[in-house]
A and B are shown apart, each in its own frame.
Chain A
């Protein structure tokens, strides 16, 4: 409701003044006062501000027909080539905005549409590594063939004119790919001649029509130069070229169509029926290595990309490598031979899909192995893994199975929350819908969760924003123990023990907020000692709070343990997901908590990158 001292008309006048940046100090104070008190006022103010933004947007676009010029264009799909804010030398950016530009002011840097449109694209550039912006990237197409380096600035070796882009292959797979290109990286998409790939991270696998498979690994810059070649400006690739047809010759005698070549600024690598890797670092040092078969590496004597003149030639077989290092001023680059361990390659061309699946399942498999071990812990009171809806024997979806040795006697009873996707593919969670729903899971036999001695409680959760003050993860009423978050303090988790209403109540709160949109592990550990108990609270494996000399609670209540709500407190209903709960009648050590987190932490979006060990 609008406060009595401010009429709706006056509120509208304040909103008008705010929209025209014409608020006096007094008006600002009045607006702030009413916004702090009234949801209705906040709603109206936001509507005014959103209208203001929309008016600028629509008027600047001239998208509105005004009765005589209605366009059918879609503001989100028509493309306009906008000047890059990143400088004259930066790459130009293809951005999704509505078609014709009416007012120069709209698209001037700093202008209104520029703000909308450019931000949708330069943000991608912003994350690209600085080197990408300094790469000289002319539209040269160099066709290199064994024995006859030739140059074709724009043409191709299949005789097509440069203005007639032709497909030289297709994208066979991508994984965790971040790219600045506007063009889609959908598997199956054709790769036109001259297509550039500028990857910030991840993998893209290309299959050339002539049989070569090239696996790009970000960050890298690669251009499909011709039907049989590519230019690697920087980064890493692995290529596999199918065996030649019977009767074809190898090496210099091969027909042009059967040769695949990777050019770099300092070297030209030509396959001789093989699988090989090429890498170019920031200093322009090129390295090539052979996984199978044989390749030929030629040092580029003249760095002119249009017309590279090669000097030394070296042939390599499996397990061998070569490096071309730039010389100093007035000095030639050098070509040296070395050794290479094929086991260092994490993923091979043609095996991207298999690699992705392995990487995808790896965290889940890791967690499953850990979970199997955990359930044999003799101190485990109850363990809810959220792997299946109900028990296999009953398929009763209102049952949350307990997989500890205590068995189905401690199965939870689901009252309200819905089964949902868990933190691993194929794993489940329960989604709690927050205030007003009273969603919870009740664990039976409250006396099994009375602890005179040490105990530990662990919960995996992912929160949503809530209007509730307290967010109960797991609680045995208000008297015994509970893990809960505080919405108004960034969802910091607290581990409370003892009688809430009496002197032996003890609360400790984590230092770090848990926020939204990611999974967290909260573990509370209680351990009695000679001089009072000690308590520890871990979030995501880190010790976030510790207390010594805590009074030993005297839990005598029959309050049931609830997940997602507190049976004794209103306004404590959890909003979000819970997907694993474990209760022990012993104190978990710090290393055990860390192991629990490492084993159960779900994959991040970039988790498909090979680990250091895999790259080793």
Chain B
């Protein structure tokens, strides 16, 4: 069949694997605004090369390969930025491609887990992620020390990851997972 609706198909694939691709880009550059720019840049290149993508093959692997090259160019320009070796970048890309399905499950589970956060934690998440404040800016706004905000964010991340794991396990093996006390 001819390629009738490539745009729709591309957007569908991109949105389906958004989290995996962005996570990989973030792993390379570790700064939100840079990751956003690179994500857009990568998406544009992906679209321009979409005819080369073979339907049925691993979309995340293809996307991460493009992202890696875009990130390499970006990091070359930003010489002061610390970056990982190419071998690590490749390893991360390969691994993220194999974890794409998990990433999608984790995204759904995370939505549920965030509902279980306490009021203070929700406020912190809202401030640091929704309003894109750094933890230092958030600390200033909340009247707390930067270290305590940093520690809180660390604790929230670990709690969310544990919750995500439990949620997925419960969905997959409902009888094997005990509710935490």
Contact status A48-B157, CB under 8 Å: yes
In the complex, what residues of A have CB within 8 A of residue B30's CB? Answer: 18-19, 21, 23, 49
In the complex, what residues of B have CB within 8 A of residue A249's CB? Answer: none
Contact status A63-B53, CB under 8 Å: no
Contact status A96-B106, CB under 8 Å: no
Give me 9 other A-B pairs in contact (C-beta within 8 A), A47-B161, A64-B115, A127-B48 excluded. Answer: A21-B31, A46-B27, A51-B164, A57-B18, A57-B19, A65-B115, A105-B132, A177-B4, A359-B2
Contact status A462-B54, CB under 8 Å: yes
Known contacts A112-B132, A516-B57; A608 and B2 CB within 8 A of each other:
yes
A414 at the interface (CB under 8 A from B): no
Contact status A16-B2, CB under 8 Å: no
Taken together as a complex, chains A and B put the C-alpha atoms of A48 and B164 apart, in Å, by 12
Contact status A46-B15, CB under 8 Å: no
Chain B residues 30-71 with CB under 8 Å of chain A are: 30-33, 35-37, 39-40, 43-44, 46-48, 51-54, 57-58, 61-62
Mask: chain A, 109-138; 1 = CB below 8 Å from B; 0 = not = 011101110111111101100000000000
Give A residues with C-beta under 8 Å from B.
Answer: 12-13, 16, 18-23, 25, 28, 32, 35-36, 39, 42-43, 45-60, 62-67, 75-76, 96, 102-103, 105-106, 110-112, 114-116, 118-124, 126-127, 174-180, 184-187, 356, 359-360, 425, 462, 464-465, 516-518, 604-606, 608
Known contacts A42-B91, A605-B3; A123 and B47 CB within 8 A of each other:
yes
Contact status A96-B11, CB under 8 Å: yes
B171 at the interface (CB under 8 A from A): no
Contact status B4-A174, CB under 8 Å: yes
In the complex, what residues of B have CB within 8 A of residue A606's CB? Answer: 51
Contact status B4-A20, CB under 8 Å: no
Taken together as a complex, chains A and B put the C-alpha atoms of A28 and B82 apart, in Å, by 8
Give B residues with C-beta under 8 Å from A.
Answer: 1-8, 10-12, 14-15, 18-20, 22-24, 26-27, 30-33, 35-37, 39-40, 43-44, 46-48, 51-54, 57-58, 61-62, 82, 84-85, 87-88, 91-92, 94-97, 99, 103, 106-107, 110-111, 114-115, 117, 122, 125-126, 128-132, 134-135, 150, 153-154, 157-158, 160-161, 164
Partner of B54, one of A28, A122, A185, A517: A517
Partner of B53, one of A56, A176, A517: A517
Within the complex, the shortest CB–CB distance from A526 to chain B, in Å, comes to 32
Partner of B7, one of A59, A111, A124, A176: A124
- Complex A-B: 30 CB contacts under 8 Å: A16-B153, A19-B30, A32-B84, A36-B91, A39-B95, A43-B99, A46-B27, A46-B95, A48-B157, A50-B19, A50-B23, A51-B23, A53-B23, A57-B19, A63-B111, A65-B115, A66-B122, A96-B11, A110-B37, A115-B37, A119-B14, A120-B14, A123-B48, A124-B47, A126-B47, A174-B4, A177-B6, A462-B54, A465-B94, A605-B3
Which residue from chain B places its CB closest to the CB of A576 in the assembled complex?
B57
- What 7 pairs across the A-B complex have the smallest Cβ distances? A50-B23, A123-B47, A59-B129, A119-B43, A115-B36, A59-B130, A49-B27
Contact status B40-A516, CB under 8 Å: no
Partner of A605, one of B6, B37, B57, B125: B6
In the complex, what residues of B have CB within 8 A of residue A175's CB? Answer: 2, 4
Which residue from chain B places its CB closest to the CB of A45 in the assembled complex?
B27
Taken together as a complex, chains A and B put the C-alpha atoms of A264 and B97 apart, in Å, by 49
Taken together as a complex, chains A and B put the C-alpha atoms of A246 and B20 apart, in Å, by 64
Partner of B110, one of A51, A65, A123, A179: A51
In the complex, what residues of B have CB within 8 A of residue A47's CB? Answer: 106, 161
In the complex, what residues of B have CB within 8 A of residue A64's CB? Answer: 111, 114-115
Partner of B107, one of A54, A186, A516: A54
Partner of B87, one of A36, A56, A120, A604: A36
Taken together as a complex, chains A and B put the C-alpha atoms of A360 and B131 apart, in Å, by 51
Contact status B106-A32, CB under 8 Å: no
Taken together as a complex, chains A and B put the C-alpha atoms of A96 and B16 apart, in Å, by 12
Contact status A176-B3, CB under 8 Å: yes
Known contacts A32-B84, A112-B32, A360-B2; A49 and B26 CB within 8 A of each other:
yes
Contact status B125-A59, CB under 8 Å: yes
Contact status A123-B31, CB under 8 Å: no
Most buried by B among A43, A96, A112: A112
Contact status B125-A20, CB under 8 Å: no
Which residue from chain A places its CB closest to the CB of B135 in the assembled complex?
A20
In the complex, what residues of B have CB within 8 A of residue A96's CB? Answer: 11, 15
Which residue from chain B places its CB closest to the CB of A61 in the assembled complex?
B130
Within the complex, the shortest CB–CB distance from A2 to chain B, in Å, comes to 15
In the complex, what residues of A have CB within 8 A of residue B95's CB? Answer: 39, 42-43, 46
Partner of A179, one of B7, B36, B85: B7
In the complex, what residues of A have CB within 8 A of residue B8's CB? Answer: 184
Taken together as a complex, chains A and B put the C-alpha atoms of A191 and B65 apart, in Å, by 39
In the complex, what residues of B have CB within 8 A of residue A75's CB? Answer: 15
Which residue from chain A places its CB closest to the CB of B33 in the assembled complex?
A110
Within the complex, the shortest CB–CB distance from B169 to chain A, in Å, comes to 15
Within the complex, the shortest CB–CB distance from A536 to chain B, in Å, comes to 27
Partner of A50, one of B12, B20, B85: B20
In the complex, what residues of B have CB within 8 A of residue A52's CB? Answer: 23, 26, 157
Contact status B130-A465, CB under 8 Å: no
Contact status B52-A517, CB under 8 Å: yes
Known contacts A46-B92, A51-B160, A53-B23; A178 and B115 CB within 8 A of each other:
no
In the complex, what residues of A have CB within 8 A of residue B82's CB? Answer: 23, 25, 28
Contact status A66-B114, CB under 8 Å: yes
Contact status A123-B43, CB under 8 Å: yes
Contact status A54-B110, CB under 8 Å: yes
In the complex, what residues of A have CB within 8 A of residue B26's CB? Answer: 49-50, 52-53
Taken together as a complex, chains A and B put the C-alpha atoms of A29 and B23 apart, in Å, by 21
In the complex, what residues of A have CB within 8 A of residue B57's CB? Answer: 464, 516-517
Partner of B52, one of A35, A46, A124, A518: A518
Contact status A127-B2, CB under 8 Å: no
Known contacts A35-B88, A119-B39, A180-B7; A56 and B23 CB within 8 A of each other:
no
Most buried by A among B7, B43, B46: B7
Contact status A123-B111, CB under 8 Å: no
Within the complex, the shortest CB–CB distance from A312 to chain B, in Å, comes to 41
Taken together as a complex, chains A and B put the C-alpha atoms of A605 and B113 apart, in Å, by 42
